[in-house]
Chains A and B, each alone.
Chain A
Amino acid sequence: MIDDLNDLYQQVILDHSRSPRNFRALANANRTSQGHNPLCGDNVTLYLRFEGDVIREITFQGSGCAISKASASILTECLQGRTKGEVEALFERVRAMLTTGQVGGDDLGKLSVFAGVHKFPARVKCAILPWHAVLAALEGKSDPVSTEEGGD
């Protein structure tokens, strides 16, 4: 039981939720997007400086649970310098990991700390929220993305 909890709330996750990295607005951002989870009221705003096909800089702001905040924080660390295609491929890998718990190789790096989330189905959407937001930003969509189709 406590093992499950330690899988979900790994030290890395707790550390990032307490001291999120790249937690600020980006003055020269050319892409921004918002993610919203209407069930918990969580909000994340992502700021990207996206040049050519590469994310040169990425930061975030917002409020949320430990899982969503750590997910956004680690995402900003992992996506600096990545191309749109790389981010899309990574997203598919992360989504598979969140729903099956399978990491599959070591190229996910720090993102693999979220593998324990799959034992907590209600929390998968917390981890995935910033990913939906970053994909929307890369598509150039300005409408806020939501974890729910309808809302509460």
Chain B
Amino acid sequence: MNLHQPQTPPSEPPSASPLPPTVFDWEALRADFPILDQQVNGRPLVYLDNAATSQKPLAVIEAIERYYRNDNANVHRGIHELSNRATAAYEGARTRVAQFLNARGPDEIVWTRGTTESINLVANAWGAANLRPGDSILLTEMEHHSNLVPWQLAARRAGARLVYLPVTGDDGLLDLSRLDALLAPPVKLFAFTHVSNTLGTVNPVSALCARARERGIVTVVDAAQSAGHLPVDVQAIGCDFLAFSGHKICGPTGIGALYGRRELLDPMPPWQGGGDMISSVDFFESQWDAVPHKFEAGTPNIAGAIGMAAAIDYIEAIGRDRIFAHDQELAAYAVTGLRAIPGLRLFGPPEHRAGVVSFLLDDIHAHDVVTVADRFGVALRGGHHCNQPLMRKLGIVSTARASFYFYNTAAEVDRLIEVLIEIRKFFGGS
């Protein structure tokens, strides 16, 4: 099956695996991911848990190793050679993230531990300066706990209230007919996900941000599931803040970034204190460093930042528009196969779906599906996917989920479908 006809020629082939100019060879990229080449429970591994975390190419593993072997030192304070190298690589990585998101400059990029910490930073620092009793925060019913619990905490601190834009049901779309009514005073901030980690819904982020901006409402986009999968341009989206993680875009765990518009970051107070975030410290008072350093207390995850920049180089060489087309084709192919299985309930939009497919098989619990799939070498996720309120809304407690990335193939989707049919038989389905 020809999964994808490239729409544009590759821009800049990765040095490790030169890409042919016309036909994109997704299979060849698998050689860059040694982890994919293994047997699990006696069967070839089919890794379909990419929404939880992606695998890492050699280019990323080697960039981290190179840093620790050759350049390791603390940043921003050394006069010596290694510290200069580490600082240059660390700040160079920040510039790479700024380019990746099309921010106006590296001072709009704050390093964090990941999407969750990025959102907590906004909820704490922006929240402390801007949220007042009686204000509201608008979220959507499809938010991950990481874009929900920080706002519950911020609302409690400020005496503010949470309001939700509804999801339509199993189709998993935002009910945009309610948007104008909800996006109004006393709402001060609107936080929403770009791509749902459970439903695969791709939300119209630019339109949502434009509507919020007209009303002077600050926007926060959770790009954990989108940044490594489709083009994300913060200026085109028109958001005030955007959060994402390194580990879901082929980078290491423990590193992520927050994009914030300079005009909003500048007046925000720091949220954590320590070294590296000050310009001067007295016994009783301190002066903060400028953004973004004001929000980065303590020795940062230097190797993580360098690994994340290597991951960005790797996926930019493939091209995110091409990755998204591949994700969508795999998802559409999977949906066709899943729909043919009797007793399967599918969640998420019928079309224009990201590479995330959630389902229930008869009345078999998701954990039983995942346990048996694992015995066939297929790695799925089963559970509430940190989406408990959404699960309650849909009247379920959990789903099984397959999530794809560019190294997944149509043959792996075929294997998924075969295994699900086996699972039905195993649990006595007809």
Chain B 40-83 near chain A by CB (<8 Å), digits 1 or 0: 01110000000000000000000000000000000000000000
Interface presence of B147 (CB below 8 A): no
User: What's the least CB distance linking A114 to chain B, in Å?
Assistant: 14
The answer to whether A14 touches B428 (Cβ under 8 A) is yes
Given A40-B383, A41-B388, the answer on whether A66 and B365 have CB atoms closer than 8 Å is yes
The answer to whether B368 touches A65 (Cβ under 8 A) is yes
Q: Interface of chain B, helix or strand or loop or mixed?
A: mixed
Contacts of A30 in B (CB 8 A): none
The answer to whether B367 touches A123 (Cβ under 8 A) is yes
Interface presence of B398 (CB below 8 A): yes
The answer to whether A5 touches B42 (Cβ under 8 A) is no
The answer to whether B367 touches A126 (Cβ under 8 A) is yes
The answer to whether A65 touches B41 (Cβ under 8 A) is no
The answer to whether A41 touches B428 (Cβ under 8 A) is no
The answer to whether B371 touches A41 (Cβ under 8 A) is no
Interface presence of A107 (CB below 8 A): no
User: What's the least CB distance linking B21 to chain A, in Å?
Assistant: 43
The answer to whether B368 touches A41 (Cβ under 8 A) is no
Contacts of A123 in B (CB 8 A): 367, 371
The answer to whether A66 touches B364 (Cβ under 8 A) is yes
Interface presence of B184 (CB below 8 A): no
Question: B396: nearest residue on chain A (CB-CB)?
Answer: A41
User: What's the least CB distance linking A131 to chain B, in Å?
Assistant: 18
Interface presence of A152 (CB below 8 A): yes
Residues of chain B having any CB pair with chain A under 8 Å:
41-43, 145, 364-368, 371-372, 375-376, 382-384, 386, 388, 391, 397-398, 426-428
Question: B391: nearest residue on chain A (CB-CB)?
Answer: A41
Question: B397: nearest residue on chain A (CB-CB)?
Answer: A41
The answer to whether B397 touches A42 (Cβ under 8 A) is yes
Interface size class of A (residues with CB under 8 A): 20 to 34
Contacts of B397 in A (CB 8 A): 40-43, 63
The answer to whether A39 touches B375 (Cβ under 8 A) is no
User: What's the least CB distance linking A63 to chain B, in Å?
Assistant: 6
Contact partner of A122 among B371, B375, B386, B427, CB < 8 A?
B371
User: What's the least CB distance linking A74 to chain B, in Å?
Assistant: 17
The answer to whether B367 touches A1 (Cβ under 8 A) is no
The answer to whether A39 touches B383 (Cβ under 8 A) is yes
A9 to B365, CA, bound (A): 13
| Chain A 8-60 residues near chain B, CB threshold 8 A | 8-9, 14, 18, 39-43
What are 29 residue pairs bridging A and B, where the CB atoms are less than 8 Å apart in the complex?
A4-B375, A5-B372, A5-B375, A8-B371, A9-B368, A9-B372, A9-B426, A9-B427, A14-B428, A39-B383, A40-B382, A40-B383, A40-B398, A41-B383, A41-B384, A41-B388, A41-B391, A41-B397, A41-B398, A63-B397, A65-B367, A66-B364, A66-B365, A66-B368, A67-B368, A122-B371, A123-B371, A152-B384, A152-B386
Contacts of B41 in A (CB 8 A): 1
A65 to B145, CA, bound (A): 23
> Which 10 pairs from chain A and chain B are nearest by CB?
A41-B397, A65-B365, A65-B367, A66-B368, A41-B384, A65-B368, A40-B367, A1-B375, A1-B42, A41-B398
A39 to B386, CA, bound (A): 9
User: What's the least CB distance linking B224 to chain A, in Å?
Assistant: 16
Contacts of B43 in A (CB 8 A): 1
A66 to B41, CA, bound (A): 21
Question: B370: nearest residue on chain A (CB-CB)?
Answer: A122
Given A1-B42, A39-B383, the answer on whether A64 and B371 have CB atoms closer than 8 Å is no
A42 to B367, CA, bound (A): 10
